[in-house]
Structure 1
Amino acid sequence: MAVEKIKKPKKRSTTIFGYPLSIFFIVVNEFCERFSYYGMRAVLVLYFKYFLKWDEDFATTIYHTFVALCYLTPILGAIVADSWLGKFKTIVYLSIVYAVGQVVMAVSAIQDITDANKDGTPDNMTLHVALSMVGLLLIALGTGGIKPCVAAFGGDQFEDHQEKQRSTFFSIFYLSINAGSLISTLITPILRAQTCGIHIQQECYPLAFGVPAALMVVALIVFIVGSPMYIRNPPQGNIIVKVCKCIGFAVKNRFRHRSSQYPKREHWMDWAEEKYDKLLIAQVKMALKVLFLYIPLPMFWALFDQQGSRWTFQATTMNGNFGAITIQPDQMQTVNPILILILVPIMDTLIYPLISKCFNFTPLRRITVGMFLAALAFVAAALLQIQIDKTLPDFPSSTEGQVKFINMVNRDLQIQADNQTISLKAFGANEDYLTFNNQFTLVLEPGQQYNVKLDNGTRNTMAIIQGSKLGFEKFDDMTSKPEKGENALRVLNGFGSVLNVTVRDKVFNFTSNMSEYLSVSHGKAEFMIKDDRGSSCIYTQELGFGSSYTLIIPSTFTFGEMCSENIKAVMDMEPNTVHMAWQIIQYFLMTSGEVVFSVTGLEFSYSQAPSNMKSVLQAGWLLTVAVGNIIVLIVAEAATLKDQWAEYILFASLLVLVCIIFAIMAYFYTYTDPTKIEAQFGEMEPEEKEKRKSFDMPRKGSAESHKEDRRSSDSSSDDECTKQTKI
């Protein structure tokens, strides 16, 4: 029988300070790829809500479906790389798919310039949604597929004697992940907040998605440029497939021999002994023992990944003014990577050593604490949401209507709405909206009575005007807080002449005496008021976050030096008063939980995994992230809770329950030493091999050998994967 000679990879010739030059290209590739992924993901949920016009629940559903797919596809990538293409080709091919997906996302956000409606919503929304979904599917396949390959490929570049350099490489690799995440989460929300377009100026999602797309193209080019320097190990066969076959055979064989005439075996995996050697079976037993502990873990990720969805929506209802800078709602996600870089060394050098002096803080205890901290983070989010809800306007129910009165007459008035008497100063308004059921009786003057009907669930402004007698005009008001923390402004023109009003290059469109709403961001806003003769007036208004104003231009208005004093602003909704800094508490608790949970969990998995099954455990760990995002979809859809704080408490309660279950499971877990267990199993006896061969031949009809490869796969890269917090 001819023995195939294995071609050894060429030795590299270029090194810098003892490190292969090729790792430079891999680190830069990882930085650009993580920038691309986290940058796109930072603005994704806002893109769903404000560009595609989906409601928060549906936007959250699609967001978590996408994240789940990103953590399901690594299994596919690992199988393709280890069984057929090898790591290098898998990274290149799937990076092309990844880059195409990012480009499609950027294209999907380009506004229909000729068909756009006045509110900025494209007419051809179906096309935008279809392109977005195609782009996200390609991105999920690309980022998930290369996830298990890049770190391992970097580890392949080192010789056996370069363990120290390999360890340093993975530390740098870990920093590149978090640096890419941090920088992109800061930059892409700024890009998103820019205005772009030709006929319609609106938030620039094409730029926010286009820059990550460009970075992914750069990542691919950099990786290919380093191609001549790489060591490329040929595919060795995927252990995940081998393990699945072994488990499947054990189950099938046990079912086949379920009658009492067959002797019982100590473990159900022992039913695979007829085909697989005892070493592999022992390794599978150890892996299954750890995978069993993974069952409760997805609940942690169900809470953790809501930082990019529910917590971002929460930030849109808060005050983002930090003095010198203004924080966008989606930029609050940067708190997580910043805290990671701070907390990881503090935990390793200070917290863990101090705790270990008091009691044995085992890995499973750390994981339990991490889950509890995540639950506390959601309790903090719920308490914060309760405070936010207290500041929100009291909007009408589905059976009520609300109204506010503005006096556009140059004298004080006293009117009656049902049994309520309302005093209105000249060119002034009552402070709060009044609530009525369907209709009410309005008395403007003695003997002048109107029956006013209100649509259910609406807010209205009634401007009282002077004609031959007092009358009124009714206008529709907003029934929700302005989106993204911006301010909703409109102008009521009682001047009796056509006026042109602009603010920050935005023009108010008058369809009647009342203009449509314009969204204006936080800060100082200057209103330029012009008439058809060229006269102008500048009025200045300081804006917070999430307020709504009606600017009254009275009939007594005149152009001149003091013109702005005649203009009055009526506040329809107060600005957001709860500061965004309060979210730092829940981010701190969640990130502390992540550091304790994620890093410890990966280290525990590695220490308890057989030498050739580190990748199996890594795939299982990534699968818990995917399942966690699926849990969000199930709970969010099934719960249908009216109040957001109640949903936060529900998730926190579920995690506490799961935390208790995990603590019980951990109590009964016995730590093992995989090296010692593997050492107990020597080479299989020749008669045992012959036994398996004869066992298989009648079924297969061939002389196919089922001898297992006992050589341990190169697991150094899996070891270093435990250092990654962002996976």
Structure 2
Amino acid sequence: MEKYKKERKYGPSCFGYPISIFFIVINEFCERFSYYGMRAVLVLYFKFFLHWDDNLSTAIYHTFVAVCYLTPILGAIIADSWLGKFKTIISLSIVYTIGQAIMAVSSINDLTDYNRDGTPDNIPLHIGLSMLGLLLIALGTGGIKPCVSAFGGDQFDEEQEKQRSRFFSLFYLAVNAGSLISTIITPILRGEQCGIHTKQQCYPLAFGVPAALMAVSLVVFILGSRMYKKARPQGNIMLQVSKCIGFAVKNRFRHRSKQFPRREHWLDWASEKYDKRLIAQTKMVLKVLFLYIPLPMFWALFDQQGSRWTLQATTMDGNFGAIQIQPDQMQTVNPILIVIMVPVVDAVIYPLIKKCHINFTPLRKITVGMLLAALAFVAAALVQVQIDKTLPVFPNGGESQIKVINLGTGVAKVDFGLGNRNVSVDSLMATNYMTFDTTSLKEMNIIYGNQTLNVSLNVMGKERHTLMLKNTANIQTNLLLDGITSKQEDGKNQIRFINNLASPVNITMGGTYLGEVKTFSVTNYTSFARGAYEIVVSADNSLTCKNQSRSFGYGSAYTIIINKCDSNILELQNVEDIQPNSVHMAWQIPQYFIITCGEVVFSVTGLAFSYSQAPSNMKSVLQAGWLLTVAFGNIIVLIVAGASKLGEQWAEYVLFAALLLAVCVIFSIMAYFYTYVDPAEVEAQLDEDEKKKKGDEKNIHANGSVSQTEM
């Protein structure tokens, strides 16, 4: 009978744990997969699908993240005041799933007609659907954030404290596992080619799989419904705290002109309406919230892993031998290091520090975490300086660039006019791009053997041109507008072909037909991923020649000249227009390592500190306050990046590092004056004082009754 009662008390169990918590852990894994998988490709979706620039993509990304960390307050109020945790999770998960589905639909590249450059013709429709989807996702993920872990803790009884502690470790592992796996998989899905009328990167698949996982998350959570302990809403303590603070402020100003005795703390002005226990608990919470004020600056740097650091990776070489890393996959370094470093820091680093008799208090750990984050951005700036050295220089508004390719058999000399350079180009050779002032570049004089040709020029600023030359009966020229004004940041390579044969040819590369190309003509640039491709050239006489292209890296541009197609021999010449990315993505690992070290000592310590310093019934208040620091951190990114107007990315990294360093100094001063408290002892003392007060009142009342009887 006793065994039966015990099982009824705890419900169905497995290895001493309620079976219900396994549904919650699986739910959390799927939800985190959905969120981080979508977020991993989000900034690249903005940049390469919606064709926003870096600044707008970064701004919208951080606005989305900020809203995700503002909505937990709404979720906590709904759960505690009206629906309860279970119904809140169900309701907002439905909203969440709809938002993910809308994101997948918004990225379907055949939803509308497309322009020749690959941009959607009806771009407002895509933007509108994307913003609606992100708003619903932010409401869903933020709303359930304060509910799921607390709902899991509710499944345990008081006697299962050990199991509850292990559950939170398992819960944290599910969060990181979902994050890690999704940031590996969704960039791979994004890299696929899909579409009906146009072949583009497969964002519908990259968003669709997270949407499916969110639906699975919802179904799994519902399946465990009958096993859950569902506590009824008890009223929101955050509202009580807010009312207490509001009444204290109002009461203080109401009596500011009258003679009232001074009170020890401004919150004591609420004592007329609220009991001392609530006032004392609110004082403890406000002390910690005051310490939170500088903390958003850490998150301003930390969350740029998904925006600025991902965009930085697009200009780098992702060739790791057998593995090719996509720019958005570099974000996996953080969860991998987290899984490794959390136990290492707890089991090795902290004990070693303790043996050195260093009092490494929680607030000192948080300070060190902020310093490490600043150092990580210094490392990012150093990497950016090296990247900038490899980037091509494009012409500005008053400049134009010209490259000369000699397709003939002799030496060509080109004179670009008074004050400009003169060049000699050998047969089948090319110059680098030369920069000219458009105001003085009006004509050029070409000398080819004993032939001379004068050509008038009318070029505009910010343009790149290729001048093709050939000596036949007369000098042939063809001044091409290249159309490339920036380096390919999606890692693709831009390839075009020049037909230097006597007859038209049809060109196919890697299965992509590039069309018929007339003699002394050129194809448009076409994007190709990293690797080598088979090139097939078919001439009018039905002769087909094949050859293997060179192995292309990341972000390059090449002009391939077809010089010979005879007896199945295809002779090619490669002219480099833009060099491939040469700074390896591995150079980002140090900055990821440093900022992850900062996260371990900052975030994990901050959560533990907040829990230890919070009253028993106000831990959710500080949890909401902690999440707000993340939201405000992303808002800081928007403000600083928008106001700085720095032309160089490395300078922006240094600016953020300097700001965090300054904030770190302020926080260390605040931490120096902070006095640690034990909320349990404070509450116990308050309870003891209350009992004593009631006892005294009872004695007074009893004594008064006796006196009246005696009279």
TM-score (norm 1): 0.91
Which residue is 2:639 aligned to?
A: 634
Which residue is 1:399 aligned to?
A: 398
Cα distance, 1:489–1:44 mapped onto 2, change above 3 Å: same
For 1:472-551, what aligned pairs fall within 5 Å after superposition?
472-477=477-482, 478-509=484-515, 513-539=521-547, 540-551=549-560
User: What amino acid is the match of 1:489?
Assistant: I
Aligned-pair CA distance for 1:179: 0.3
Alignment check: 8 A CA contact 2:112 2:120 kept:
no
For 1:50-449, what aligned pairs fall within 5 Å after superposition?
50-112=48-110, 115-358=113-356, 359-418=358-417, 419-438=420-439, 439-445=441-447, 447-449=452-454
CA–CA separation in structure 2 for the residues paired with 1:531 and 1:227:
69
Structure 1, residues 361-409: CA drift from partner, whole Å, max 9, x if none? 1100000000000000000000100000001112212211110001122
Is 434-443 or 216-225 further displaced after alignment?
434-443
Cα distance, 1:488–1:125 mapped onto 2, change above 3 Å: same
Cα distance, 1:545–1:679 mapped onto 2, change above 3 Å: same
Which residue is 2:626 aligned to?
A: 621
User: What amino acid is the match of 1:547?
Assistant: S
Aligned-pair CA distance for 1:467: 5.7
Aligned length: 677
Cα RMSD for the two superposed structures: 1.9
Structure 1, residues 600-658: CA drift from partner, whole Å, max 9, x if none? 01111111111111000000000000000000000111111100000000000000000
Q: 3-state DSSP class of the match of 2:110?
A: coil
Structure 1, residues 18-55: CA drift from partner, whole Å, max 9, x if none? 11111111111000000000000000000000000000
Alignment check: 8 A CA contact 1:196 1:203 kept:
yes
Is 52-61 or 485-494 further displaced after alignment?
485-494
User: What amino acid is the match of 2:437?
Assistant: F
User: What amino acid is the match of 2:491?
Assistant: G
Identity level (%): 63
Alignment check: 8 A CA contact 2:398 2:437 kept:
no
Cα distance, 1:114–1:529 mapped onto 2, change above 3 Å: farther
Residue of 642, 652, 672 corresponding to 2:677 = 672
Aligned-pair CA distance for 1:500: 2.1
Q: Which runs of 5+ in 2 are unaligned?
A: 1-6, 698-711
TM-score (norm 2): 0.93
For 1:430-469, what aligned pairs fall within 5 Å after superposition?
430-438=431-439, 439-445=441-447, 447-466=452-471, 468-469=473-474
CA–CA separation in structure 2 for the residues paired with 1:240 and 1:113:
45
Aligned-pair CA distance for 1:247: 0.4
CA–CA separation in structure 2 for the residues paired with 1:46 and 1:11:
51
Is 290-299 or 676-685 further displaced after alignment?
676-685
For 1:560-579, what aligned pairs fall within 5 Å after superposition?
560-563=567-570, 566-579=571-584
CA–CA separation in structure 2 for the residues paired with 1:509 and 1:352:
65
Q: 3-state DSSP class of the match of 1:261?
A: coil
Alignment check: 8 A CA contact 1:12 1:229 kept:
no
Residue of 646, 651, 655 corresponding to 2:660 = 655
For 1:578-727, what aligned pairs fall within 5 Å after superposition?
578-682=583-687, 683=690
Aligned-pair CA distance for 1:192: 0.1
Aligned-pair CA distance for 1:688: 13
CA–CA separation in structure 2 for the residues paired with 1:196 and 1:535:
33
User: What amino acid is the match of 2:659?
Assistant: L
Alignment check: 8 A CA contact 2:613 2:676 kept:
yes
Which residue is 2:704 aligned to?
A: none
Cα distance, 1:476–1:489 mapped onto 2, change above 3 Å: same
CA–CA separation in structure 1 for the residues paired with 2:277 and 2:250:
20
Cα distance, 1:688–1:382 mapped onto 2, change above 3 Å: farther
CA–CA separation in structure 1 for the residues paired with 2:517 and 2:235:
70
CA–CA separation in structure 2 for the residues paired with 1:172 and 1:396:
55
CA–CA separation in structure 2 for the residues paired with 1:440 and 1:361:
71
Structure 1, residues 321-340: CA drift from partner, whole Å, max 9, x if none? 00110000000000000000
Cα distance, 1:509–1:70 mapped onto 2, change above 3 Å: farther
User: What amino acid is the match of 1:250?
Assistant: A
Aligned-pair CA distance for 1:538: 2.1
Aligned-pair CA distance for 1:506: 2.4
Q: 3-state DSSP class of the match of 1:402?
A: strand
CA–CA separation in structure 1 for the residues paired with 2:112 and 2:507:
25
CA–CA separation in structure 2 for the residues paired with 1:634 and 1:41:
21
Alignment check: 8 A CA contact 1:66 1:136 kept:
yes
CA–CA separation in structure 2 for the residues paired with 1:502 and 1:240:
66
CA–CA separation in structure 1 for the residues paired with 2:93 and 2:257:
52
CA–CA separation in structure 2 for the residues paired with 1:505 and 1:471:
32
User: What amino acid is the match of 1:430?
Assistant: T
User: What amino acid is the match of 2:284?
Assistant: M
Residue of 550, 554, 558 corresponding to 2:565 = 558
Which residue is 2:705 aligned to?
A: none
Alignment check: 8 A CA contact 1:508 1:517 kept:
no
Q: 3-state DSSP class of the match of 2:402?
A: strand
CA–CA separation in structure 2 for the residues paired with 1:13 and 1:645:
57
CA–CA separation in structure 1 for the residues paired with 2:21 and 2:404:
69
Residue of 38, 41, 45 corresponding to 1:40 = 38
Which residue is 1:719 aligned to?
A: none
Cα distance, 1:276–1:202 mapped onto 2, change above 3 Å: same
Q: Which runs of 4+ in 1 moved over 6 A?
A: 686-689
CA–CA separation in structure 2 for the residues paired with 1:399 and 1:192:
38
Greater RCO (CA < 8 Å, at least 6 residues apart)? 1
CA–CA separation in structure 2 for the residues paired with 1:80 and 1:186:
34
Structure 1, residues 168-193: CA drift from partner, whole Å, max 9, x if none? 11111111000000000000000000
Aligned-pair CA distance for 1:425: 2.2
Cα distance, 1:283–1:223 mapped onto 2, change above 3 Å: same
Alignment check: 8 A CA contact 1:407 1:463 kept:
yes
User: Is 1:15 matched up with 2:13?
Assistant: yes
Alignment check: 8 A CA contact 2:406 2:428 kept:
yes
Which residue is 2:702 aligned to?
A: none
User: What amino acid is the match of 2:319?
Assistant: N
Aligned-pair CA distance for 1:82: 0.7
User: What amino acid is the match of 1:424?
Assistant: V
Alignment check: 8 A CA contact 1:404 1:434 kept:
no
Aligned-pair CA distance for 1:145: 0.3
CA–CA separation in structure 1 for the residues paired with 2:434 and 2:531:
26
Q: 3-state DSSP class of the match of 2:273?
A: coil
Aligned-pair CA distance for 1:227: 0.6
Structure 1, residues 35-80: CA drift from partner, whole Å, max 9, x if none? 0000000000000000000001000000000000000000000010
Which residue is 2:706 aligned to?
A: none
User: What amino acid is the match of 1:462?
Assistant: L
CA–CA separation in structure 2 for the residues paired with 1:147 and 1:325:
35
